[in-house]
Chain A
Amino acid sequence: GAGVSQTPSNKVTEKGKYVELRCDPISGHTALYWYRQSLGQGPEFLIYFQGTGAADDSGLPNDRFFAVRPEGSVSTLKIQRTERGDSAVYLCASSPSGGGGQAFFGQGTRLTVV
């Protein structure tokens, strides 16, 4: 069956540009997570959706980062005025019910800001 799908798989952008990263969760999963991972580090929590609403956005580093999930399925992570420090792998995961249950990850989007 289909797993979590993230697009694009790679994105190179210039400093100061705007980017959108897309996540298609497993069908029927109500919980959706965004993480970012730098080399040698574990996934760093960004935001967690239950359905359409953000249950916890405490990991978003600043107001340049924003995420939406308007219909409770696909989610988009938006980064404004990108900086070189935003370069990382952005991982999306979904879970049948959230609340601390097992999460299934996509293969990630590798973002490089030059």
Chain B
Amino acid sequence: RKEVEQDPGPFNVPEGATVAFNCTYSNSASQSFFWYRQDCRKEPKLLMSVYSSGNEDGRFTAQLNRASQYISLLIRDSKLSDSATYLCVASGNTGKLIFGQGTTLQVKP
């Protein structure tokens, strides 16, 4: 079983839609959680950190549920420019960062 699991998608949504991605992690000792965004043939870039209290940045909301070891990302009012792969990340015991497979989002006009 992978340490961080995501549904690879693809998710195909129209502009303006709300879309949610989920992720689970297996290491209950993980302390830090992030969502990264990766455009085609580019390096991953931090989208936002994830906290138990929730974290909102404009149209993006991230949530952590430690009891269920579950992380979510909600994107409201999707834009064409949101099309990318979204990577869920959890820290390991030693501080290393473990990435999920990524979920591909395609926003259509």
Interface residues of chain A, those whose CB is within 8 Å of chain B, are 31, 33, 35, 40-45, 48, 50, 55-56, 58-59, 91, 93, 98-108
Contacts and interface: CB of A to CB of B under 8 A. Distances in A.
For A33, A42, A44, A59, the residue with the greatest tally of chain B CB atoms inside 10 Å of its CB is A42
Interface of B: 4, 6, 8, 30-32, 34, 42-46, 49, 87, 91-92, 94-102
A54 B39 CA distance: 30
A103 B87 CA distance: 13
Given A33-B96, A55-B96, A108-B43, A102 B102 contact: no
A59 B34 CA distance: 20
A30 to B, nearest CB: 11
A9 B105 CA distance: 27
B95 A45 contact: no
Query: Which 5 pairs between the two chains have the least Cβ-Cβ distance?
Result: A100-B91, A100-B32, A105-B43, A56-B94, A42-B99
